[in-house]
Amino acid sequence: MFDGIRPAVAGRTRLLTPDLRGFGGGPPLASVGAAAPDLTVFADDVLADLDAAGIERAVVGGVSMGGYIALNLLRRHPDRVAGLVLADTRGGADDDAARERRRAAADRADRGDIAAGPDAIAPLVADTASGLLRADLAAIAGAVPAATIAWGQRAMAARPDSTAALAAATVPVLVVVGEKDTVTPPAVARQLASTAPEAELVELPGVGHLSPAEDPVGFADALIGWLSRRF
């Protein structure tokens, strides 16, 4: 999903985009055993990647669930976080209704009932997204095993509120949101940005929930500009 911004940021910063456990080329999800689903597993994997690369502190960011993982690192290892990029995500925990929706989605995934192809992407991207982009994103989504989807939904449902940690953060924060994001709308992003003492907010016009894929040029410009001002 971040491939589109790589050329633009290559001359400005080192961009690491690890495959999470159970996704892509990441470690197998079965290696976590019978432990309850918890995003800390993903956050610890990211931390291990930083250790392996010899990186003591990094600007950590992510889109949607990736933002939850970045906030998990902020809560538990603030000394490793030099800055945050929170794209199309939120800082609070799920409310009861959202938790129930995630659990229901996880139960469906357990039965192999998962959206595929364009149906998996349609709720996430703007209505103006091209057919080629939809096909590319559908291929990425289609490669995710049902067991990973179920585990991830349950882990997100169980995540704690990160609002206090974000409010206490002393590092620069960039909040990015798509104008047409219906999953975490601009109002959610504004609230997120208002929580962090050193936050900047960028709203990308005509973009949905997957902003770096839908508008890689706009996302890269926002990121590079923020890095130039803050680091």
The angle that helices 146-157 and 65-76 make with each other, rounded to 10 degrees, is 50
- The single residue listed with the structure tokens 């839908």 is 214
The alpha helices in the chain, defined as continuous H runs, are 6-9, 40-52, 65-76, 96-110, 118-121, 131-142, 146-157, 163-167, 186-195, 211-214, 216-230
Given pLDDT bands bounded at 50, 70 and 90, which one contains residue 35?
Answer: confident
The string of pLDDT tens digits covering residues 53-89 is 999 999 999 999 999 999 999 999 999 999 999 999 9
In a 3-state reduction of DSSP, which class is residue 50? Answer: helix
Cα gap 127→75, rounded to integer Å: 35
Please enumerate in sequence order all residues whose Cβ is within 8 A of that of 203, keeping only pairs 6 or more positions apart, or say none. 176, 177, 178, 179, 186, 189
> Please, what is the average pLDDT of the chain?
94
| Mean pLDDT value across residues 27-52 | 89
Going by the DSSP 8-state scheme, the letter that residue 55 receives in this structure is -
In percent, how much of the chain has pLDDT > 70? Answer: 100
Q: Which fold has domain 3-95+159-230?
A: Rossmann fold (3.40.50)
The full set of domain ranges for the chain reads 3-95+159-230
Residue 191 has pLDDT above 90, yes or no: yes
